[in-house]
């Protein structure tokens, strides 16, 4: 961790009631970094983001903001430069795109400067926008407020690869140009790794791998096989740490459009409906309206 650390955690256990689903997690995101948090369905990614955002209290350990421990709730964190895009679409469907921006206090010009694609649809109800346009609106709303740190949970759920690239490009630019620190949970693993600087991989709530993307590229095949593809479907199998001892070469580097990657990109992200239902359930008792508005970016 450096002076530039915007958000992170040390020895964090997180979960629901007294049940920890994330254990002993150390993680940090520095200014200008895009960091990918990966893991199979149920690995604890959303729980981690909720806890880092101040939405769930930690069961143990410390959440860090600007390198210092914090217990501030999410609405306070949002006032001091945090933005959290949850996996639920957070635009208000009955309002136009322009009204959604106005409600968030974001000038239309600032949003269209980030996403010129929104210009022709500004007067359309958000509910009639495509999924990609809705997420551009969400991201424009979040980035136009110039956050210092941004948590994004499956921003590209269910979207076409070309839109995923567009959204991730915008995040990368925000990191490069404005120094935003981005922590990204993404189902499109290979896409995410093209844009990320570093990666953390969770398996059943525990960190099993971390490092710069360049260092873990060679292990990507093993990581996918061990933690990202079948792990959720086979919850009782032994911890597959041995798989990582034998790095599997990935024939094409991150910039190549391989057939495998194409398949990865085209694959419908798993557990969409389940994730959304769970998110709603876990937030219902705790989420105030103010939090929801803040979370929307
Ligand atoms: N409100 C809740 N109460 C109890 N357990 C929960 C609650 N929400 C989630 N869980 C459990 O916590 C574990 C981690 O879930 P989490 O949603 O953080 O994983 P994830 O990696 O984000 O998965 P996904 O990719 O499916 O969104 C899972 O076993 C899940 O069933």
For every one of its 297 residues, what pLDDT tens digit does the chain have, with 9 covering 90 and above? 555 789 999 999 999 998 999 999 999 999 999 999 999 889 999 999 999 999 999 999 999 999 899 998 888 888 889 999 987 778 999 999 999 999 999 999 999 999 999 999 999 999 999 999 999 999 999 999 899 999 999 988 889 999 999 999 999 999 999 999 999 998 888 889 999 999 999 999 999 989 999 888 787 777 777 777 643 333 333 333 333 333 322 223 333 333 344 444 433 333 333 333 333 333 333 334 444 444 444
The whole-model pTM stands at 0.79
Nearest to 248 by CA among 226, 268, 273, 265: 226
Q: Which spans in 184-271 are helix H?
A: 189-195, 213-216, 220-223, 241-245, 259-266
Q: What is the DSSP letter of 87?
A: S
Mutate to test the pocket of ligand 1, among 47, 52, 55, 153 (most ligand atoms within 8 A of CB): 47
| CATH node for 5-88+150-160+172-292 | 3.40.50.300
Q: Answer whether 43 contacts ligand 1 (Cβ < 6 A).
A: yes
Q: Answer whether 55 contacts ligand 1 (Cβ < 6 A).
A: no
Q: ipTM greater than 0.90, yes or no?
A: yes
Distance 42 CA to ligand 1 centre (A): 5
CA distance 295 to 130: 21
Place of tokens 């096989």: 225
Distance 53 CA to ligand 1 centre (A): 16
CA distance 208 to 223: 9
Q: Which atom of ligand 1 is nearest to the CA of 48?
A: 18
Q: Answer whether 217 contacts ligand 1 (Cβ < 6 A).
A: no
Q: Which helix (H) or strand (E) holds 183?
A: strand 181-185
Q: Answer whether 278 contacts ligand 1 (Cβ < 6 A).
A: yes
Q: Answer whether 22 contacts ligand 1 (Cβ < 6 A).
A: no
């Amino acid at each position: 961790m450096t002076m530039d650390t915007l958000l992170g955690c040390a020895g964090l256990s997180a979960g629901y009631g007294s049940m920890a689903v994330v254990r002993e997690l150390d993680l940090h995101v520095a200014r200008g970094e895009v960091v990918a948090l990966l893991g199979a369905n149920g690995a604890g990614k959303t729980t981690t983001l909720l806890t880092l955002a101040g939405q769930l209290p930690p069961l143990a350990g410390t959440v860090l903001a600007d390198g210092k421990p914090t217990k501030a709730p999410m609405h306070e964190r949002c006032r001091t430069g945090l933005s959290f895009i949850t996996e639920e679409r957070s635009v208000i469907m009955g309002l136009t795109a322009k009204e959604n921006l106005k409600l968030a206090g974001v000038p239309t010009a600032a949003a269209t400067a980030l996403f010129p694609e929104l210009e022709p649809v500004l007067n359309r109800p958000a509910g009639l926008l495509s999924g990609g346009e809705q997420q551009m609106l969400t991201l424009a709303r979040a980035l136009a407020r110039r956050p210092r740190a941004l948590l994004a949970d499956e921003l590209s759920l269910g979207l076409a690869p070309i839109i995923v690239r567009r959204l991730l490009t915008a995040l990368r630019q925000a990191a490069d140009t404005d120094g935003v620190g981005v922590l990204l949970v993404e189902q499109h693993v290979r896409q995410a790794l093209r844009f990320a600087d570093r990666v953390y991989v969770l398996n059943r709530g525990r960190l099993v791998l971390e490092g710069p993307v360049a260092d873990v590229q060679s292990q990507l095949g093993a990581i996918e096989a061990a933690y990202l593809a079948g792990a959720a479907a086979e919850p009782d199998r032994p911890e597959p740490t041995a798989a990582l001892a034998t790095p599997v070469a990935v024939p094409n580097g991150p910039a190549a459009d391989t057939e495998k990657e194409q398949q990865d990109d085209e694959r419908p992200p798993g557990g969409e409906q389940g994730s959304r239902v769970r998110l709603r359930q876990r937030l219902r008792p705790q989420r105030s309206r103010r939090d929801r508005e803040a979370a929307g970016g």
